[in-house]
Structure 1
C-alpha cells in the first residue's frame, strides 16, 4: 500500500498539512499534487478550520519538482505540467478562505521556495534556505515565482535570485523582506503555533479580503484602490465581526469573531 505523501492533522481551528516524502526532500510528484489539492480543498470546506499551516517532513521543506516523475521527463511538455498541477496549486492557496502559513523547516528550492512564498506568512527555521534553482537546469521560475519575487524583494533582487540561483539563508530572506520571520530551529513549531492560534481568533473574512485587496492594488491606480477599499468597508461594516469588534472595544472585553 502506497504511503500518503500529504499528512493532514487538526488541532482546534488549525489544520496542518505536512509534505511527507522525506527521502526525496518532499519533492513534488503528480500524485503529491493531487493529494495536496485535496487536503487544501478539505480544509477550505471545513467551517471549523480558521488557519492552515503547510510544512515539510524530515530535513527539508520541499525541493521542488521530482525530476524522476514521468511528467517531468525530457521530451515532455513542461507547460502542461505547470498548467495541470502547479498553477491550480498556486490558485488554490491564494484563494483559501483562511490565512495560510508556511512553516519552512529546511531547504525550500525551486517550486518549493515559491510554494512557500504563495502563503500569507512564511516562518523559517534559521537552518532553512531558499533557492530559485530553475536556472541551474535551464528553466525559468514557476509556481508563481515571476509574480511573487519582484513584489516581495523588488525587481533588482528578484532578477539576481532568479538568474543566479544562489542559496539564500533564512535570516537573509527575512532581512530582504522575502519572508515574514526567521526563528531558531527549536522555536519554529511554537512560533508557528502561536501565530496560527492568533490568526484563528481574528476576523477571518477580513483577513482574506486584506490579502485579496493588497494583491489587486498592485495593478490599480490610487483611485481604483480607494474605490475597492470603499466597497470592502461597505461589505464588512455590515458584517457580524465588525459589530462584534466595536462592541468588544466599547465594553473592554475580548472579541469573539465567527465570520468565515
Structure 2
C-alpha cells in the first residue's frame, strides 16, 4: 500500500517554526512526485502564514535526500516528444528549489545524512545549512550521464565560485560535511546527536527576529549576484523605505533608544 503524502512528509509548527521532514528513510529520502508537491505547498503556506516566522527542512533516517525517485512520479504514457524533459524539469525540480528561494521566511536545512542530486540542491537553496558530521553532498548527475537540474549550475557557482563548482559537477565526488563547511556550502557542522537541537536553537532565534526585515534581506542577498551595483543599491534603498513602515522596525529603534531588549512580533 502506498503511503500518503502526509506520512512521507511530516509537518508540525512549534514556536512559530514550520518543521518539514522528509520521511522515507528506507529510500534514503529520495524524493517522489507527491513528496515534492507537498514540500512546495508547505513552503508556500509558511511564506503566507504570519504565525510562521522560520522554516526547517530536515529528514528521518540516515539520508537527507538521495535525489529524485523517478519511480515515484506519475506514469508516463506513450513516446517522449520534444519539450517533455524541459517541461518536467521546470514543473518539478526547479519549482521545488524556487519555492525555497522565494519563501518569505528564513529557511534552514538540517542535513542529517547524504544529500545527493536534487537533495543537495534542496539543502543549498536554503538560507542557512547545518549539517551532521556524517552528512555528505554529492553532485551525482555526472555519474548517470546527466546534466545537473534543480538550479545546481545557478546555486553552486554563487557559493563556491565557478571553478570549484565545475570540479564538483564534473567529478561527482562526495563532499564530506567538514569539507563542505570549509568550502562555504555549510554554515555549521555538529555531531549527529546535536543536529535537531542546534537547528531548533537557530530556527527559534530567527523566529524571534524582525520577520519582514529578514525577508527583505533574503531578497536583497539572493538578487545581489544577478544585477549591477546601481540596481542592488536601488533595491536596498527601496527595502529600507518599506521596512521602516513595519512595527518591528519601530520596535527596534524604540528599544535601542530605551536601552532594552527588542520584542519583535513579525509584522
TM-score category by the smaller chain?
over 0.9
Root-mean-square deviation over aligned CA pairs: 1.8
Aligned to 1:221: 228
Aligned to 1:24: 27
2:127 matches 1:124: no
Aligned to 1:66: 69
Tell me which of 55, 59, 84 is aligned to 2:58.
55
Secondary structure of the structure 2 residue equivalent to 1:48: coil
Deviation at 1:173, TM superposition (A): 0.3
Deviation at 1:71, TM superposition (A): 5.6
Unmatched segments (≥5 aa) in structure 1: none
Deviation at 1:78, TM superposition (A): 3.2
Aligned to 2:98: 91
Tell me which of 129, 140, 146 is aligned to 1:139.
146
Task: Provide the rounded CA distance (Å) in 2 between the counterparts of 1:176 and 1:72.
Answer: 39
Q: Aligned ranges for residues 1-260 of structure 1 at < 5 Å?
A: 2-3=3-4, 4-70=7-73, 77-260=84-267
Task: Provide the rounded CA distance (Å) in 1 between the counterparts of 2:51 and 2:249.
Answer: 20
Secondary structure of the structure 1 residue equivalent to 2:61: coil
Note if contact 2:53-2:266 (Cα within 8 Å) is conserved in structure 1: no
Task: Provide the rounded CA distance (Å) in 2 between the counterparts of 1:250 and 1:169.
Answer: 46
Task: Provide the rounded CA distance (Å) in 2 between the counterparts of 1:221 and 1:72.
Answer: 44
For residues 187-227 of structure 1, give each alpha carbon's deviation from its aligned partner in whole angstroms, at most 9, with x where no partner exists. 11111111001100111111111111112221222222222
Task: Provide the rounded CA distance (Å) in 1 between the counterparts of 2:8 and 2:39.
Answer: 8
Note if contact 1:101-1:122 (Cα within 8 Å) is conserved in structure 2: yes
Task: Provide the rounded CA distance (Å) in 2 between the counterparts of 1:23 and 1:63.
Answer: 11
Task: Provide the rounded CA distance (Å) in 1 between the counterparts of 2:75 and 2:89.
Answer: 10
Could you state the TM-score of these two structures normalised by the residue count of structure 2?
0.92
Deviation at 1:72, TM superposition (A): 9.1
Deviation at 1:44, TM superposition (A): 2.5
* Matched pairs, number: 260
Note if contact 1:71-1:81 (Cα within 8 Å) is conserved in structure 2: no
Could you state the TM-score of these two structures normalised by the residue count of structure 1?
0.94
Do the aligned partners of residues 124 and 163 (structure 1) sit closer, same or farther apart at CA in structure 2, a change above 3 Å counting?
same
Task: Provide the rounded CA distance (Å) in 2 between the counterparts of 1:32 and 1:13.
Answer: 23
Task: Provide the rounded CA distance (Å) in 2 between the counterparts of 1:184 and 1:82.
Answer: 35
Task: Provide the rounded CA distance (Å) in 1 between the counterparts of 2:75 and 2:257.
Answer: 58
Unmatched segments (≥5 aa) in structure 2: none
